[in-house]
Structure 1
Amino acid sequence: MNTTGKRQSALARILGLLSQPVHHYQPATNIFLDLNVDRMADELQLVEQGRERGAQNRPASDGQTLDDIEHQIIEKIERHKQDSHSIYLDHLHTYDERVTALSFEERFATIQQAAPEAVGDFRAEATVGRDELFALRRRLNESEIERERFRARHRIERPARLASPGKIILKVGILAILFVIEVVVNGSFLANANIGGLLGGLVQAVVFAALNILASFLCGMVLIRLVNQRSFFLKLLGVLSCHGYLAFAVALNLTLAHLREIPPTISGDVGQEVLRRLQTAPYMLTDINSWVFFSVGFVFSLVAMADGLMFFDPYMGYAGLERRWLDASNQFAGARSELIDRLRDIREDCTDAMNNAARDLSVRRGEYDSLLQGRGRLAQRFTQHQNQIEQAGRALLEIYRESNRRARSTPPPSTFSRSYTMERIIYAGGEPDSTAREHLRKMIAETQALLNQQIKAIHEAFDNAVKTYREIDELLPEKKSG
């Protein structure tokens, strides 16, 4: 369990095994220390002690036991043997701890449980993705059905003309440019006939330019587009709207032209005078500049109307359906690609973790064999060291006895001719037998085979998941357009 109380995933447990060290100790370099016979002989003063006791004919010729000096030598030898034995036990304990730290049984149990769970988690993830993808595909299918029914009902065989962000910006920019130009032109023309001069002409120019440009744009984008509809009533409404727009554009720009020709000193209401001229003589403009003023305004109105007419798809309502279908299609394709990439990442993570776990077992098996070999070499070294201790003891006894013999006047005791035999320490520590080692090798091989099987199962699960994602298109096939 982690700190949040949630159970770790199978992949996290496998990766957790790999973060643990192979063992808790560095390889030991201590060796058994051999006895220095000459130095011990000097420390015990064996030559002097032998000469002194030999001059006194000690030990007695009929003595049957070792004397004090010989006991002292043997005591030194035995003490060193026990010290070496303690070192030997310490090293054995180190090897045993390192073997225990390899924790094969824990790894076997974790891998045998976590590896199949990792495959199960992968399949569950694939199932969740399939459900998510199915919902998106059903939404796309509904959008396709709606789009195809609309095309069939209105007898449309072409794709919709969608306005890209760049085109929208361009068309809005054209409107803005037309508006600014018309304000400047109208302001300069109307200033001559306005009592407020240039400022009054600009105010009138802004009002009429907004009405001329924006109204023409909206007529083209909404009303006149109805001429493309299949419905007779809507088509008729569009034709009438087109005529109405032309009448509106001509009337508005004639109004501006007449407004320009009215002098600022006229008495009475300017608006009523313009209305009177439109009713009695609408085309009686006395100044050529007025006709230029009318033509500029009317052309700008036509450009604004055409801009609105081509702002979206000519067939009203078709562009919205097409955009919704494209959004659903892109969402489905993006989700499928994202799900496959996510499954591919999970597959690679699981494969790497299981391959690393298999390699870790091989490394630990090599470490285990190395530890057993080191343990065996340690036992041989301790046996050889006991031989060296025994030989050192014999050498020390011989130094003392030889010095004693030379100084004696009586025959040496019979014990001087006895060779020293040290009692050996044999450690029955329970070396792993060949059966245990073979069992471990078998378990490692079986666990590695299990990991390989699960890697193969994950690859098969990935292929099946991708296949089921494609099968969603077969369950809900895309509608073929005419």
Structure 2
Amino acid sequence: MQLIDKVKSVLKSDDVLPTLSVFPEIDQEKLRRDLDLDAQGEQRGKRNLPAADTKLADNVEANIISRIEALRRTGLENYENSRQIYNERLSRAGGLRKDVEFVAHNASADYLTAVRGWRAAMTGSTERLYETFQHRKDFRERHSLKRPAKRFEGWLKLGLVTVIFVGAEAALNAVMFSRGNEQGLAGGLLTALIFSAVNVIGSLMLGIAACGLNHSASARKLFGFLAFLIWVILAAALNLTVAHFRDLIDAEIGWSEAVRMAIPALQSDPFGLTSMDSWFLLAIGSLISIVAFLKGWNTFDPLPGYSRVERDLQLARAQHQEDFDEAVEELTIKREKAIDELRDADQQVRDGISQAIDALYGHSTLNSHLKSFLAQCDTKLAYLLAVYRDANISVRTEPKPPSFSISHAFPTFETAVIADESRRAAAETEADKVTAAVDAAVREIFQSFRTAVEEFALPEEVQQGQTTASVGPRSEEAA
């Protein structure tokens, strides 16, 4: 807030504080050395100067008085300048109050603008959440569903399960396919992997497609039935073909010839297997096919499309929650920053006016420091005169002059100021108005924050159609 910085700069530009820094430092020992009082006293004393009948201060004493008087005059000038600054500050109290009031109103307006900005930014996620919820509601009503959708466990897990199924079947069949293969166990493993991949992946995909049997639409039911029928045919044909191929290998038929004869053997007598290994191979392949089909059936929700509808709703909820959290976090930061700056400006103005009142009416530390400074001037002067006179008297052969018995004192400086009670009251009233304006702005900012949080509809409110427009009146009543 640039205007708050301006207010602070007005109050701090004079750099006046009611401390001893206003008055110059009087270092008596440094003055003693600079004026060379000890040597001057001895030299003039040996010459019996000033004369025994001298009644006025000599040139050394006059020099001492002049140095202290210059410092005293500087201090008094600083004091008067400070009082003038405080007087101007007090005169500016009304203007400062208006500036702070303007800042307070702007802070409230800026915060409300930020609130409205976030409401507009959340429109997209709010609408999507409402629409996806309504879509799921319609989907459930259309299919007479009351249960939640089955949660999809992820493609990674599905891929791992597929690899495990393929690897397990291939490992079990590798030895059986290696017999008669020119490449031995490696060739048998490769052949087993190919058959297992076709068996597992085909059964898995057809299991997913066969879920259409659960759909309410006739076309989807037909599609699901066809997928189930294709799986039955594929699984039976593939595993029986593999079993006949293995049977031909056991009959000492060559590998390439067994590949060519496996399908005709299946067509002529599907279950005419003569080898126990072939029946075992058929059992393993059929079991893996069934398990893969069931895994595909249960990968998503048994009702096609239900998992996707549920996932879309979850994503919409997550996006809405993310926007909500971001909005609340940013508005909270803006709120605290605005309040801190307003409170700081309020304190700056009140402190400035209070110090000005104290300074002008003699109740601040500035006046007490002035009194200490003036007393110090008298004390330092007496000390330096004593140093010079003692050094002079200690070497004189004549009596000391009457002037050495005279103590010098500066004129009294009057600090009393006739108090203008109406002006004091007006300044204090201005300070109170500043605080009242800041308090009102802080309350308005808090109210805007509270209303914003209430108007940022929660997911359950959005889902029921209670958008920010409908939540608004409820928020105003709460306010």
TM-score by length of 2: 0.74
Deviation, structure 1 residue 46: 11
Match of 2:472 in 1: none
Q: Which amino acid aligns with 2:452?
A: A
Task: Please give the alpha-carbon distance, in whole angstroms, between the structure 2 residues aligned to 1:246 and 1:118.
Answer: 73
SS, match of residue 151 in structure 2: coil
In 2, are the aligned partners of 1:192 and 1:260 still within 8 Å (CA)?
Answer: no
Task: Please give the alpha-carbon distance, in whole angstroms, between the structure 2 residues aligned to 1:199 and 1:47.
Answer: 129
Match of 1:59 in 2: none
* Pick aligned residue for 1:125 from 101, 114, 131: 114
* Pick aligned residue for 1:259 from 242, 245, 258: 245
Q: Which amino acid aligns with 1:259?
A: F
- 1:330-377 deviation line (CA, Å, top 9, x unaligned): 211232232122222222222333334444455556655335424652
Task: Specify whether residues 156 and 244 from structure 1 end up closer, same or farther in structure 2 by C-alpha distance, changes over 3 A only.
Answer: same
Task: Please give the alpha-carbon distance, in whole angstroms, between the structure 1 residues aligned to 2:157 and 2:255.
Answer: 46
- 1:252-297 deviation line (CA, Å, top 9, x unaligned): 1010011112135449843331122111111111111111110000
Task: Please give the alpha-carbon distance, in whole angstroms, between the structure 2 residues aligned to 1:265 and 1:21.
Answer: 111
Q: Which amino acid aligns with 1:162?
A: R
- Which range moved further: 426-435 or 169-178? 426-435
Task: Specify whether residues 430 and 135 from structure 1 end up closer, same or farther in structure 2 by C-alpha distance, changes over 3 A only.
Answer: farther
- 1:178-199 deviation line (CA, Å, top 9, x unaligned): 1011112222111224344333
Task: Specify whether residues 324 and 353 from structure 1 end up closer, same or farther in structure 2 by C-alpha distance, changes over 3 A only.
Answer: same
* Pick aligned residue for 2:75 from 72, 79, 91: 91
Match of 1:289 in 2: 277
Please tell me whether residue 279 in structure 1 is matched to residue 276 in structure 2: no
Please tell me whether residue 447 in structure 1 is matched to residue 434 in structure 2: yes
Contiguous gaps of at least 5 residues in structure 1: 1-7, 54-68, 408-415
In 2, are the aligned partners of 1:190 and 1:259 still within 8 Å (CA)?
Answer: no
SS, match of residue 160 in structure 2: helix
After superposition, residues 218-237 of structure 1 pair within 5 angstroms as 218-222=205-209, 224-237=210-223
Task: Specify whether residues 31 and 158 from structure 1 end up closer, same or farther in structure 2 by C-alpha distance, changes over 3 A only.
Answer: same
After superposition, residues 160-199 of structure 1 pair within 5 angstroms as 160-165=149-154, 168-199=155-186
Task: Please give the alpha-carbon distance, in whole angstroms, between the structure 2 residues aligned to 1:267 and 1:50.
Answer: 142
Q: Which amino acid aligns with 1:152?
A: E
Please tell me whether residue 342 in structure 1 is matched to residue 330 in structure 2: yes
Please tell me whether residue 351 in structure 1 is matched to residue 339 in structure 2: yes
Task: Please give the alpha-carbon distance, in whole angstroms, between the structure 1 residues aligned to 2:46 and 2:142.
Answer: 125
Task: Specify whether residues 78 and 476 from structure 1 end up closer, same or farther in structure 2 by C-alpha distance, changes over 3 A only.
Answer: farther
* Pick aligned residue for 1:323 from 308, 311, 319: 311
After superposition, residues 295-310 of structure 1 pair within 5 angstroms as 295-310=283-298
In 2, are the aligned partners of 1:228 and 1:315 still within 8 Å (CA)?
Answer: yes
Deviation, structure 1 residue 320: 1.2
Task: Specify whether residues 51 and 340 from structure 1 end up closer, same or farther in structure 2 by C-alpha distance, changes over 3 A only.
Answer: closer
Task: Please give the alpha-carbon distance, in whole angstroms, between the structure 2 residues aligned to 1:190 and 1:169.
Answer: 30
- 1:18-61 deviation line (CA, Å, top 9, x unaligned): 9999648863573597999x9898776599568777xxxxxxxx
Task: Please give the alpha-carbon distance, in whole angstroms, between the structure 2 residues aligned to 1:439 and 1:336.
Answer: 47
Q: Which amino acid aligns with 1:348?
A: E
Task: Specify whether residues 92 and 447 from structure 1 end up closer, same or farther in structure 2 by C-alpha distance, changes over 3 A only.
Answer: farther
Task: Please give the alpha-carbon distance, in whole angstroms, between the structure 1 residues aligned to 2:376 and 2:254.
Answer: 133
Q: Which amino acid aligns with 1:159?
A: P
Q: Which amino acid aligns with 1:89?
A: R
Task: Please give the alpha-carbon distance, in whole angstroms, between the structure 1 residues aligned to 2:294 and 2:10.
Answer: 72
Match of 1:314 in 2: 302
Q: Which amino acid aligns with 1:313?
A: D
Contiguous gaps of at least 5 residues in structure 2: 359-363, 467-479
Task: Please give the alpha-carbon distance, in whole angstroms, between the structure 2 residues aligned to 1:136 and 1:459.
Answer: 25
Match of 1:373 in 2: 367
Q: Which amino acid aligns with 1:456?
A: R
In 1, are the aligned partners of 2:215 and 2:304 still within 8 Å (CA)?
Answer: yes
SS, match of residue 262 in structure 1: helix
Q: Which amino acid aligns with 1:247?
A: I
Task: Please give the alpha-carbon distance, in whole angstroms, between the structure 2 residues aligned to 1:143 and 1:292.
Answer: 50
In 2, are the aligned partners of 1:193 and 1:261 still within 8 Å (CA)?
Answer: no
Please tell me whether residue 136 in structure 1 is matched to residue 125 in structure 2: yes
Task: Specify whether residues 100 and 333 from structure 1 end up closer, same or farther in structure 2 by C-alpha distance, changes over 3 A only.
Answer: farther
The sequence identity of aligned pairs, in percent, is 21
In 2, are the aligned partners of 1:18 and 1:357 still within 8 Å (CA)?
Answer: no
SS, match of residue 302 in structure 2: coil
Task: Specify whether residues 122 and 437 from structure 1 end up closer, same or farther in structure 2 by C-alpha distance, changes over 3 A only.
Answer: same
SS, match of residue 211 in structure 2: helix
Q: Which amino acid aligns with 1:340?
A: V
Task: Please give the alpha-carbon distance, in whole angstroms, between the structure 1 residues aligned to 2:232 and 2:442.
Answer: 75
The higher radius of gyration belongs to 1
Task: Please give the alpha-carbon distance, in whole angstroms, between the structure 1 residues aligned to 2:7 and 2:259.
Answer: 90
- In the comparison of the two structures, how many residue pairs are matched? 435
After superposition, residues 66-77 of structure 1 pair within 5 angstroms as 69-70=54-55, 73=57
- 1:51-107 deviation line (CA, Å, top 9, x unaligned): 777xxxxxxxxxxxxxxx445x27666655543332123213444566678895496
Deviation, structure 1 residue 300: 0.3
RMSD: 4.6
Task: Please give the alpha-carbon distance, in whole angstroms, between the structure 1 residues aligned to 2:462 and 2:290.
Answer: 51
Task: Please give the alpha-carbon distance, in whole angstroms, between the structure 1 residues aligned to 2:256 and 2:408.
Answer: 146
Task: Please give the alpha-carbon distance, in whole angstroms, between the structure 2 residues aligned to 1:187 and 1:386.
Answer: 112
Task: Specify whether residues 243 and 21 from structure 1 end up closer, same or farther in structure 2 by C-alpha distance, changes over 3 A only.
Answer: farther
In 2, are the aligned partners of 1:193 and 1:259 still within 8 Å (CA)?
Answer: no
Task: Specify whether residues 422 and 265 from structure 1 end up closer, same or farther in structure 2 by C-alpha distance, changes over 3 A only.
Answer: closer
SS, match of residue 122 in structure 2: helix
Q: Which amino acid aligns with 2:223?
A: L
Task: Please give the alpha-carbon distance, in whole angstroms, between the structure 1 residues aligned to 2:270 and 2:400.
Answer: 162
